[in-house]
């Protein structure tokens, strides 16, 4: 009887320990990011009422997991490029956008290999433009709503297969609705 109870207790503890290995205490992400800036209230050289910029850059984040499904994230990104008219880049004009966001993240860790997640991030964005040594920049409220999927390679390394975010900013008292896609490597530290 004693062996049966010990065996049953051990059998119950194995899934708990296996699940604990799937939840790191902290995660650090870094990688490539594409940003589609869209300002529906701006005006372009062609007289349309929508300004769009395709920017390339980086995205990084640091997350602390409170339990297997809830974490707190700090997210940072920078995107750079030049505007284009009729598919041609405007020479000597550089545009950049940086964001500093934070908020909660919910993860689903049922399968030890794939970890889908969703987050709501809030903070500040800084946009700037310059030409011939002159430039201007502005800070504004920003939020990002989205999520993604991490693919675990080892207990300490994962690949962020995709992270897709709707990003809203409020530059020049107008609302900009943009999209951000990010891909890269996730380093996982500790066990929960």
Nearest to 57 by CA among 37, 27, 42: 37
Question: Taking 50 as the threshold, does the pLDDT of residue 16 lie above it?
Answer: no
Residues 6+ apart with CB under 8 A from 72: 63, 64, 66, 102, 103, 104, 105
CATH number, position 23: 2.40.160.20
Q: Record the tokens describing residue 61, joined without a space.
A: 């984040």
SS3 9: helix
Residues 145 and 100: their CA atoms lie apart, in Å, by: 14
Q: What is the mean pLDDT of residues 113-135?
A: 91
The total of other beta-carbon atoms located within 10 Å of residue 81's CB is 18
Structure-model confidence comparison of residues 47 and 92, the more confident one: 92
Answering whether pTM is above 0.85, one says no
Question: Taking 90 as the threshold, does the pLDDT of residue 1 lie above it?
Answer: no
Q: What confidence score (pLDDT) does residue 9 get?
A: 45
Q: What confidence score (pLDDT) does residue 39 get?
A: 66
Nearest to 20 by CA among 142, 144, 140, 192: 192
Q: What is the mean pLDDT of residues 127-136?
A: 83
Q: Record the tokens describing residue 52, joined without a space.
A: 């769009």
* Count: domains in the chain: 1
Q: What confidence score (pLDDT) does residue 2 get?
A: 53
Question: Taking 80 as the threshold, does the pLDDT of residue 101 lie above it?
Answer: yes
CA of residue 142 relative to chain centroid, distance:
13
Q: What is the mean pLDDT of residues 141-149?
A: 97
Q: Which residues pair with 98 in a beta bridge?
A: 78, 126
Domain that holds residue 94: 2-189
Condensed to tens digits (0 to 9), the pLDDT of residues 163-186 reads: 999 999 998 888 889 999 999 999
């Amino acid at each position: 009887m004693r062996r049966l109870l010990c065996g049953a207790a051990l059998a119950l503890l194995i899934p708990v320990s296996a699940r604990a290995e799937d939840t790191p205490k902290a995660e650090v992400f870094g990688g490539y990011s594409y940003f589609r800036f869209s300002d529906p209230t701006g005006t372009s050289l062609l007289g349309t009422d929508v300004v769009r910029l395709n920017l390339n850059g980086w995205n990084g984040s640091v997350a602390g997991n409170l339990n297997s499904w809830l974490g707190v994230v700090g997210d940072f990104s920078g995107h750079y490029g030049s505007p284009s008219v009729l598919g041609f880049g405007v020479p000597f004009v550089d545009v950049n956008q940086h964001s500093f966001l934070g908020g909660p993240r919910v993860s689903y860790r049922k399968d030890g290999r794939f970890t889908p997640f969703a987050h709501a991030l809030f903070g500040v964005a800084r946009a700037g433009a310059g030409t011939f040594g002159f430039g201007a920049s502005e800070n504004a409220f920003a939020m990002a709503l989205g999520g993604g999927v991490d693919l675990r390679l080892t207990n300490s390394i994962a690949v962020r297969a995709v992270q897709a975010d709707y990003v809203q900013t409020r530059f020049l008292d107008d609302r900009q609705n943009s999209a951000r896609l990010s891909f890269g490597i996730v380093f996982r530290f500790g066990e929960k």
